[in-house]
Amino acid sequence: MLETSGLTVGNRIEDISLALEPGTITAICGPNGAGKSTLLEAMAGLLSPDSGTVSLGGTDLSQIKPRERAKRLGYLPQAHEIAWDVSVRSLVALGRMPHGDTLAGPVDAALDAVDAAQFAERRAQTLSGGETARVLLARVLAGQPEWILADEPLAALDIAHQLALIRHLSATAGRGVGVVVVLHDLAHAMNHADRVIVLDRGKIAAEGACENALDQRVVERVWGVPARWIGDPGARALITG
């Protein structure tokens, strides 16, 4: 289990307490500036809280050695930047660094998962924005972490690759991996997450099952727009305005 208790970071998030279950997809949603990325970074151990704790499997994250933490938590940042002009395969293999190996099996599986095997030998800095986003996620997947923490992983992808990636994350969660994703697309959260956390001005505005956390009244209150859901469960669309 990945838990936070009274988590506060500056004036960006305040008193966040959560208990996230492995084997599920949790979507973090909210308006711009709500604290979504800050919460994810704190859960990954990349930000030190001013107060409160983050724990993994009952152990305070600060007490887990960095290498062990890197094995167990795979973090994908919002910024899609590649610093080295290496091959795509070599870049994805970096996800194995915490394990001290470059096993081909996990690397190939990760490339296949994001539909990137066909350009595995290309130079990473020649990729398009969408290709880069997929390859950086593959680097996380190659590490076979217990938890995947991804900040807007769908932002640069076309519709087909968005759906393919969501289905892969669902299958990954089905194998017992915990998945936490920041999403701006509320329909994707409604249709594919097991649980939604809605942040507003650094605090939890709603959380729980998708139908409750993204209820029409919540969307109207937090995002400040008229809204209604249409369609059947699993294929909902949000109409605004």
Q: Would you kindly state where each structural domain of the chain is located, as residue ranges?
A: 2-78+145-240
d(CA 85, CA 74): 22
How large is the average pLDDT for residues 175-182? Answer: 96
User: Which three-class secondary structure string do you get for 161-207?
Assistant: HHHHHHHHHHHHHHCCCEEEEECCCHHHHHHHCCEEEEEECCEEEEE
Q: At residue 83, does pLDDT exceed 90? A: no
Give the distance from CA 26 to its chain's centroid.
Answer: 8
- Segment 172-192 mean pLDDT: 95
H/E stretch holding 67 reads helix 66-72
- pLDDT-derived band at 82 (thresholds 50, 70, 90) equals confident
pLDDT at 56: 96
Which tops the pLDDT comparison, 28 or 82?
28
pLDDT band at 208 (very low <50, low <70, confident <90, very high): very high
Chain segment 114-153, per-residue pLDDT in tens? 889 999 999 998 988 888 888 999 999 999 999 999 999 9
pLDDT reported for residue 84: 79
Average pLDDT over residues 38-58: 95
Burial class (CB in 10 A: 0-12, 13-18, 19+), 190: buried
Vertex 31 angle, CA 30 and 35, to 5°: 65
Model confidence band, residue 49 (pLDDT cutoffs 50, 70, 90): very high
- pLDDT for 215 equals 95
Mean pLDDT (whole number) for 162-166: 88
Q: What angle do CA 19, 157, 207 make, to 5 degrees?
A: 20
Rounded Cα–Cα distance for residues 216 and 62 (Å): 39
The count of other CB atoms within 10 Å of the CB of residue 50 is 13
Percent of the chain with pLDDT over 90: 80
Strands (DSSP E) contained in the chain are 2-9, 13-20, 25-29, 51-56, 59-60, 73-76, 147-151, 178-182, 195-200, 203-208, 227-230, 237-240
Question: Which pLDDT value is given to residue 50?
Answer: 95
2-78+145-240 has CATH 1.20.1250.20 classification: no
Torsion of CA 11, 24, 148, 67, to 10 degrees: 90
Confidence of residue 165 (pLDDT cuts 50, 70, 90): confident
**Most confident by average pLDDT, 109-123, 163-177, 195-209:** 195-209
pTM metric for this prediction:
0.93
As a residue count, the chain comes to 241
- Average pLDDT of 102-112? 92
What are 62's two structure tokens?
């600060």
